[in-house]
């Protein structure tokens, strides 16, 4: 798998996927990956939730679960980075192997299971990063331990501990790799959880924007209900979407039947459709972050025109490495200019509005 192509893709491709990922994180942690050659153009700068984004392109949660390599990741040119998912207590996650390349499909399947060193190690890593003085927005993705007796309390614990360190916090209720977790993202369970979250935020010395990440399988009435709940509880926005349990018939790779969440190119169209639908359901009043199958400037621009204020990459970054960041950044600026938009925010939702 061509992971971080600028730092030895040929060698990394010979390694098992999770081993290659660990090596890449180690190199980034030691700042051994080349920094971005230039800053994003002013047309990509945006201000949301009082935060300044040099570009709308970020890294999705899951790449740096323990916030070990934040400085190295930001040096690559991301406009923002989302670290995690972090859980209150350390956990090993699911047994290996649990990460699979579907190279022929431009995809990955993972069943990691919120593996990580836990809240205190994570918070310590973020605190040390913050001491470096970086002002780029940092999101933190929080979850619940697999064996938790009170998963809502796990989210409260993470929120209280990490709010002083985060620019925004994402509630990950949609991972397919923790049994029963997705039941929290809809109905009365979601109402109760969001009630506890907003009560917690109201008591914080420093309120933090709160996001909810949804699964692509959430559809129709259930999706509409979750969008309404996000608006009723004044969430900062939604992240669309997490990995999918679907297995399209078009998949060709040998690992296509592995259990876990599918990400990458096969998720691009479903995530695009979900973005359009949620933008419509929220009447464009709820800021959205688009993720899922974005592997080019064309993909990123289409997601923005469908309603995303920001976009994130993950699997495309795994396959193409740091060059993808520069390619998307330059490509977005070129597309804005070609379409006569002086600023990226003018392109948000234009396709969804024209279709209304």
Q: What three-state secondary structure class fits 91?
A: strand
How far is residue 91's CA from residue 144's CA, in Å, rounded to a whole number? Answer: 10
CA distance readout (Å), 206 to 168, 202, 209, 210: 11, 9, 10, 12
- Among 300, 296, 291, 308, smallest CA distance to 349 is for 308
Structure tokens at 33: 């990956």
Residue given tokens 């290996």 in the structure block: 96
Q: In whole angstroms, what separates CA 344 from the centre of its chain? A: 20
- DSSP H or E run through 296: none
CA distance readout (Å), 262 to 109, 139, 314: 4, 23, 12
Q: What three-state secondary structure class fits 251?
A: coil
Which residue is catalytic, options 43, 55, 174, 175?
Answer: 175
Residue 207 CB partners (closer than 8 Å, separation 6+): 163, 201
Which residues share a beta bridge with 138? 81
How far is residue 121's CA from residue 214's CA, in Å, rounded to a whole number? Answer: 27
Q: What are phi and psi of 288, to 5 degrees?
A: -125, 140
What is the phi-psi region of residue 149: left when phi exceeds 0, alpha when psi lies from -120 to 50, beta otherwise? alpha
Q: In the annotation, is 34 catalytic?
A: no
Dihedral, 128, 68, 215, 157 alpha carbons, nearest 10: -40
Q: How many residues does the chain have?
A: 356
* Catalytic (active-site) positions: 175
């Amino acid at each position: 798998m061509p992971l971080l192509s600028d730092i030895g893709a040929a060698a990394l491709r010979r390694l098992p996927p999770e081993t290659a990922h660990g090596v890449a994180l180690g190199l980034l942690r030691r700042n051994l990956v080349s920094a971005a050659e230039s800053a994003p153009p002013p047309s990509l700068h945006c201000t949301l939730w009082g935060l300044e984004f040099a570009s709308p392109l970020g890294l999705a949660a899951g790449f740096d679960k323990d916030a070990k390599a934040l400085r190295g990741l930001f040096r690559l040119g991301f406009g923002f980075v989302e670290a995690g998912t972090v859980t209150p207590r350390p956990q090993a996650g699911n047994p290996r192997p649990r990460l699979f390349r579907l190279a022929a499909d431009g995809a990955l399947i993972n069943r990691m299971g919120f593996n990580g060193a836990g809240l205190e190690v994570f918070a310590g890593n973020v605190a040390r990063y913050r001491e470096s003085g970086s002002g780029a927005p940092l999101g933190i993705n929080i979850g619940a331990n697999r064996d938790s007796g009170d998963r809502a309390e796990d989210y409260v614990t993470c929120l209280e501990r990490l709010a002083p360190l985060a620019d925004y916090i994402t509630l990950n209720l949609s991972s397919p790799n923790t049994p029963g977790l997705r039941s929290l993202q809809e109905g009365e369970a979601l109402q109760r959880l969001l009630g506890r979250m907003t009560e917690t935020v109201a008591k914080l010395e420093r309120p933090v924007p709160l996001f909810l990440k949804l699964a692509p399988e959430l559809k129709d009435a259930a999706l509409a209900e979750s969008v309404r709940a996000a608006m009723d509880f004044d969430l900062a926005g939604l992240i669309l979407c997490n990995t999918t349990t679907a297995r399209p018939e078009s998949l060709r790779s040998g690992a296509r039947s592995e259990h876990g969440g599918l990400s990458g190119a096969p998720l691009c169209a479903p995530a695009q459709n979900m973005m359009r639908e949620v933008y419509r359901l929220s009447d464009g009043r709820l800021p959205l972050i688009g993720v899922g199958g974005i592997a080019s400037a064309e993909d990123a621009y289409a997601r923005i025109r469908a309603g995303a204020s920001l976009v994130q990459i993950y699997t495309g970054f795994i396959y193409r490495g740091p060059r993808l960041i520069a390619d998307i950044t330059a490509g977005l600026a070129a597309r804005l200019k070609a379409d006569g938009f002086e600023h990226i925010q003018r392109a948000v939702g234009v396709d969804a509005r024209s279709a209304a």
